[in-house]
Amino acid sequence: MAGQAFLKKNLLTITLFLLNIKNVFVSRPPIFWDPSHKLFSCKDPIVNVKENDLLKFVCADKDISSKPNAHSSTLHEVAYLLDYTKEQEYENCDARDHDNVLLNCTSKYMVTQHRITQNALSPDAPSFTPGKTYYVIAPSYRTSNMINNMVGGSCNDTSDGGYHLKLKVHVCTDQEIQDGDCKLCESEGCYYEACGKQCDDWIDPVDNDCYKQRLCNNTLLNTQFKEYEKIDNCQTSNNPAVTTGKKTGEENNKDDSYKYMGIGIAFALIVGLVLGLVISKWHYGKKRQENFVDIERNNSKHSHINEGFQYDNRKSKVTN
């Protein structure tokens, strides 16, 4: 009874939660916090996320025992989060006024996972606002004796052949995603697909086509592809599958598949919930009816017993 009353009282809340299930627990590809990783070969790397995504940071499996003053073989690095208002601190690799520690690598394979949300579940968890860009830097430098360094470090020192260990995290708005201006990655290589890109010169369109094109290759991903760009004030029905800076049809279909899958799961759960309520109500009604029948039978039985007792008493009096 208590469970049934709770479900009835909170049915609307549960339904709204289930309808938004497509927005929760989408895990983006992990970020390996290593100054030699391909991602940081980008001049100004940026990772796009949306609200309710899960963003994972991973410590590197890298042997640094040959480094000077290395007290262990583990690469020691820290990932400090800076608020969207602290772009200057990001440029200066200054974490003295940091907002959160996303990762503290003191051993290999350490992993932290952060939910992109405006309402953090705990006081120590970071909060993110859609439409804003946040900054992550590593002022630490490789070894354990430099892990508490707060300025400079791996964020701006590339003397040993590594890259600048810093990146931006942009929280996409729904409108940015809908317009194709904020690409969400489904694979690790997507993070740095533009960093190793080299392209030929643009080729002007032919046969009344409105799109110029060029051939590109990516040395990091070892891929080759064509890019298209529309000429201003040109109308045509010949629309190529890929245009620069926009999602391809395949990517949009992939996003739609996630959306419809989430809606399908939510619908199935709602149907299950309603069926559970109906079955519970039917079972309760049946049980109640059975109890009523038992009570009537007991009353009838007691009535027959009382009548027999009264008859015996009358018979006894007549005999006396």
167: in domain: yes
* pLDDT higher than 60, residue 28: yes
pLDDT for 224: 84
Selection from 59, 71, 65 nearest residue 34 by Cα: 59
Cα distances (angstroms) measured from residue 53 to each of 31, 79, 116, 152 = 14, 19, 5, 30
pLDDT digits (tens, 9 = 90+) for 192-201: 887 777 888 9
pLDDT of residue 251: 41
- Residues 243-260 have a mean pLDDT of 43
pLDDT, tens digit, 9 for 90 and up, residues 149-185: 999 999 998 887 789 999 999 999 999 999 999 999 9
Question: Cα separations (Å) of 166 from 88, 136, 218?
Answer: 13, 6, 22
Q: Which residue among 161, 179, 194 closes a domain?
A: 194
Asked if residue 260 and residue 220 are part of one domain, the reply reads: no
Do both 53 and 190 map to the same domain? yes
Whether residue 40 is found in the same domain as residue 133: yes
Higher-pLDDT residue of 56, 13: 56
The proportion of the chain whose per-residue pLDDT surpasses 70, expressed as a percent, equals: 63
pLDDT averaged over every residue in the chain: 76
Question: Which range among 158-162, 231-235, 257-261 shows the weakest confidence by mean pLDDT?
Answer: 257-261
Give per-residue pLDDT as tens, 111-133: 898 989 887 777 778 889 999 99
pLDDT average, residue stretch 205-230: 82
Last residue of a domain, one of 194, 218, 236: 194
Higher pLDDT, 195 or 8: 195
pLDDT digits (tens, 9 = 90+) for 59-96: 987 665 455 555 556 788 999 999 999 999 999 999 99
> Which of 67 and 276 is assigned the larger pLDDT?
276
The reported pLDDT for the residue numbered 144 is 85
Which of 30-39, 94-103, 294-303 has the least mean pLDDT?
294-303
Contact 169, 53 (CB under 8 A): no
Residue 19 lies in a domain: no
Residue 254 is encoded by which pair of tokens? 């992939």
Same domain, yes or no: 293 and 163? no
3-state class of 55 per DSSP? strand
> What residues have CB less than 8 Å from 23, skipping those under 6 apart?
51, 52, 262
User: Structural domain of residue 210, as residue ranges?
Assistant: 196-247
Q: Given this model, what pLDDT does residue 247 score?
A: 38
pLDDT of residue 287: 64
**CATH number of the domain that 140 lies in?**
2.60.40.420
Same domain for 154 and 69, yes or no, is yes
> Please, is 62 exposed, middle or buried when counting C-beta atoms within 10 Å of its C-beta (0-12, 13-18, 19+)?
middle
Which region among 55-64, 159-168, 283-292, 293-302 has the lowest average model confidence (pLDDT)? 293-302
Provide the number of structural domains found in the chain.
3
Residue 15 lies in a domain: no
- Asked if residue 288 has pLDDT above 80, the reply is no
Task: Look at residues 211, 229, 247 and tell me which one is the last residue of a structural domain.
Answer: 247
Mean pLDDT of 94-119: 88
Residue 88, domain member (yes or no): yes
Same domain (yes/no): 190, 59: yes
Residues 31 and 135 in one domain: yes
**51-60, 88-97, 308-317 — which is least confidently predicted?**
308-317
Say if 286 falls within a structural domain. Answer: yes
Q: Once rounded to an integer, what is the mean pLDDT over residues 4-30?
A: 60
Average pLDDT over residues 14-43: 74
In a domain, 300, yes or no: yes
Residue 12 lies in a domain: no
- Same domain membership, residue 70 and residue 136: yes
Q: Taking Cα atoms as reference points, which of 263, 58, 291, 62 lies closest to residue 160?
A: 62
Same domain, 33 and 172: yes
Q: Higher-confidence residue: 213 or 220?
A: 213
Domain identity same for 230 and 256 = no
305 and 243 both lie in a single domain: no
pLDDT above 90 for 274: no
> pLDDT band for position 252 (50/70/90)?
very low
Same domain for 135 and 201, yes or no, is no
